[in-house]
Amino acid sequence: MMPDVHRTAFNVAIRAHLAGYKPYLNIECQMRDADGQLVWVLIRGVVSEDAYGVRRLAGSLSDINLRKSAEQDLAHATFHDPLTGLPNRQRMNQLLLQALQRQGKPGARHASVLFVDLDRFKLINESLGHQSGDKVLVESAKRIARCLRPGDHLCRFGGDEFVVLLDDLAQDGDAEIVARRIMQELHVPMLVGEHRLVITASIGVAPLKGNGMEQDALREADLALYRAKAYGKSQLALYSETLQEEVHHRLTLENALSEALARDQFELYYQPIVKVEDGSSKVIGVEALLRWWQDGTMISPDEFIPVLEESGQIVEVGEWVLREACRQVKAWHDSGLPGLRCSVNLSSRQLHEGGFAGRVAAVLQETGFPPGSLVLEITESLLMQDVPDTLATLRELESLGIRIALDDFGTGFSSLGYLHRYPLHIIKVDKSFITRAPDDERLGAISRAIIGLGRGLRMDVIAEGIETPEQMRFLHDEGCHYIQGYWFSRPLCAEQIRPVLVSLSNLDETA
Ligand code: C2E
Ligand code: CA
Ligand code: CA
């Protein structure tokens, strides 16, 4: 007995052979054995017809069940991920293609692609071992699957990336609902061995469009994922054309920045920091501020520093800033402006890079810059990352004679604990505070408290962003003596700032 499809195929093969299209019969089909089980057989032979029209098949019938099941296993393996048993990337491509074909037809329901990426999975793998990592992946796959309906498809795309195809949505917005459900489901603590892990995921969502290619939807969901990751962990981002432009802009920026150092497109501007006391003003130092000239246009650091930080290039660029600032200020020391302090902004990436203090020491030696005149500005967010080596690195820098300034104070958590725990010598009060202090009573009180606090801790307090006589008066009344802002000078290039420094140092250049 043969199942109907196989019987039909068998008859067609016999007819083809009898009609002379095929010299012999050679067909694989399924038959039932004595127990009624379906088995695969290979039928080979030659059919002859005798004078009475009776057909006889001379040949062989072999059991190919084993080979067939091996083939099926192989086909399964080609399209499935061995760890989770989910369809893999190849299979997803096929599924997407089929879904796209359905999308092209009139009256089709909406379909969307979700790109799911576990946050910090690498960390789990590295700290708990690959076996634990595997368990997390298997459990994550189960949890994602629980959020889906029959007809949706989940595949393991590679590493810690999963792709979901939602194939039957009433509207595009429903994809976001499913994505949020997945994030919630993954967020429930997971028990792996004796560890209780909290997993977060970032998800990019893109609609599947009938006129697109299967790779378009994947690329767009991946782009949205890139955006989600850039927001930080545990985020969701939806693909849109503006997003496409934004990411494109970002990538172009990243590329251009990667060549900026070699092409000599960076320049340092300097802004004076002035001590005001007893009615006289005297410059005590400068803050080096990075500028990027791209094809003759100056790009603001607020735009490019975050890109440098994210790509990690800030480490190399930051070292250039340090070297260039030390070289320049040393040159000013040697040409009539001795003792001028040099403040350089640090990004957390630089400080967390092993051997940072050693590299600073090397730059100081190379440029001959006195450590006692160097100030490194860090932000509270850097201290909040709570990397254990931070304290050790800051102490090492302090022991070299370098001073540390806490920048933008008042904009973060402004935790007073940090002021005690870390070796900090200077507080820079953020411009958003003091600039509004003269006419905002609450901000005035806070500014007053910060200035008092700094004095109590024997730290210098620098007020940033000072532009008006009212602000100057307020600071005078509160006893804040260090001032930086447009009131004295905007940041200027080395050549233009020198005369400003000279006039602010009460020196007569010709004397
Ligand atoms: P920041 O460290 O807080 O630097 C002070 C910013 O305030 C500078 O902006 C300066 O031009 C601006 N400023 C100074 N006085 C006034 C004023 O009176 N009014 C107003 N409205 N603004 C004033 P800039 O140069 O655009 O730099 C922005 C930020 O970029 C810096 O903020 C710093 O966080 C970062 N940055 C600049 N250079 C470097 C660098 O070499 N390395 C790193 N990691 N970050 C840098
Ligand atoms: Ca600064
Ligand atoms: Ca600042």
- 319 versus 213: which is more confidently predicted? 319
Give the Cα separation of 348 and 329 in Å (integer). 24
Rounded to the nearest whole angstrom, what is the distance from the C-alpha of residue 201 to the centroid of ligand 2? 34
Rounded to the nearest whole angstrom, what is the distance from the C-alpha of residue 363 to the centroid of ligand 1? 23
pLDDT above 90 covers a percentage of the chain that reads 52
Q: Are 454 and 427 in contact (CB under 8 A)?
A: yes
Q: Provide the pLDDT for residue 385.
A: 74
Statement: residue 507 has pLDDT above 70: no
Q: Provide the pLDDT for residue 68.
A: 83
Q: 138 in helix, strand or coil? A: helix
Categorize the per-residue pLDDT at 419 as very low, low, confident or very high, splitting at 50, 70 and 90: confident
Q: Render pLDDT for 132-143 as a digit per residue (tens, 0 to 9).
A: 999 999 999 999
Q: Render pLDDT for 150-192 as a digit per residue (tens, 0 to 9).
A: 989 999 998 999 999 998 898 888 999 999 999 999 999 999 9
Taking residues 481-491, what's their average pLDDT?
A: 96
Among protein residues, the one with the nearest Cα to ligand 1's atom 19 is 465
Pick the atom of ligand 1 nearest to 289's CA.
Answer: 38
Statement: residue 509 has pLDDT above 60: no
Among protein residues, the one with the nearest Cα to ligand 1's atom 23 is 465
> Ligand nearest 484 Cα, by number?
1
Q: What is the DSSP letter of 265?
A: -
Q: Render pLDDT for 332-364 as a digit per residue (tens, 0 to 9).
A: 999 999 999 999 999 998 998 889 999 999 999
Statement: residue 396 has pLDDT above 60: yes
pLDDT above 70 covers a percentage of the chain that reads 98
For every residue of 408-453, DSSP letters joined together read: EETSS---HHHHHHS---EEEE-HHHHTTGGG-HHHHHHHHHHHHH
Q: Render pLDDT for 77-128 as a digit per residue (tens, 0 to 9).
A: 888 899 999 999 999 999 998 998 888 888 888 999 999 999 989 888 888 8
Residues 6+ apart with CB under 8 A from 96: 113, 165, 208, 214, 217, 218
Pick the atom of ligand 1 nearest to 309's CA.
Answer: 44
Rounded to the nearest whole angstrom, what is the distance from the C-alpha of residue 300 to the centroid of ligand 1? 9
Pick the atom of ligand 1 nearest to 350's CA.
Answer: 44
Q: Provide the pLDDT for residue 138.
A: 96
Among protein residues, the one with the nearest Cα to ligand 1's atom 33 is 345
Among protein residues, the one with the nearest Cα to ligand 1's atom 13 is 465
> Ligand nearest 489 Cα, by number?
1
Taking residues 214-231, what's their average pLDDT?
A: 85
Categorize the per-residue pLDDT at 511 as very low, low, confident or very high, splitting at 50, 70 and 90: very low
Q: Provide the pLDDT for residue 137.
A: 96
Statement: residue 211 has pLDDT above 80: no
Instruction: Copy the structure tokens of residue 7.
Output: 């019987």
Rounded to the nearest whole angstrom, what is the distance from the C-alpha of residue 272 to the centroid of ligand 3? 13
Average pLDDT, the chain: 90
Backbone angles phi, psi at 488, to 5 degrees: -95, -50
Rounded to the nearest whole angstrom, what is the distance from the C-alpha of residue 379 to the centroid of ligand 3? 8
Statement: residue 510 has pLDDT above 70: no
Given ligand 1 and candidates 273, 302, 303, 305, which is best to mutate, with the most ligand atoms within 8 Å of its CB? 305
Among protein residues, the one with the nearest Cα to ligand 1's atom 27 is 301
- 258 versus 417: which is more confidently predicted? 258
Rounded to the nearest whole angstrom, what is the distance from the C-alpha of residue 469 to the centroid of ligand 2? 22
Taking residues 381-389, what's their average pLDDT?
A: 78
Ion ligand 3 neighbours (CB, 5 A) are 407-408
- Residues with Cβ within 6 A of ligand 1? 271, 289-290, 300-302, 305, 318, 321, 345-347, 407-408, 431, 464-467, 484-486, 491
Rounded to the nearest whole angstrom, what is the distance from the C-alpha of residue 408 to the centroid of ligand 2? 7
Q: Render pLDDT for 296-315 as a digit per residue (tens, 0 to 9).
A: 899 999 999 989 998 889 99
Angle (nearest 5°) at CA 394 between 393 and 395: 90
Rounded to the nearest whole angstrom, what is the distance from the C-alpha of residue 407 to the centroid of ligand 2? 6
Q: Provide the pLDDT for residue 413.
A: 67
Rounded to the nearest whole angstrom, what is the distance from the C-alpha of residue 380 to the centroid of ligand 3? 11
Statement: residue 130 has pLDDT above 50: yes
Statement: residue 2 has pLDDT above 70: yes
Categorize the per-residue pLDDT at 435 as very low, low, confident or very high, splitting at 50, 70 and 90: confident
Number of CB atoms found within 10 A of residue 230's CB: 16
Among protein residues, the one with the nearest Cα to ligand 1's atom 20 is 465
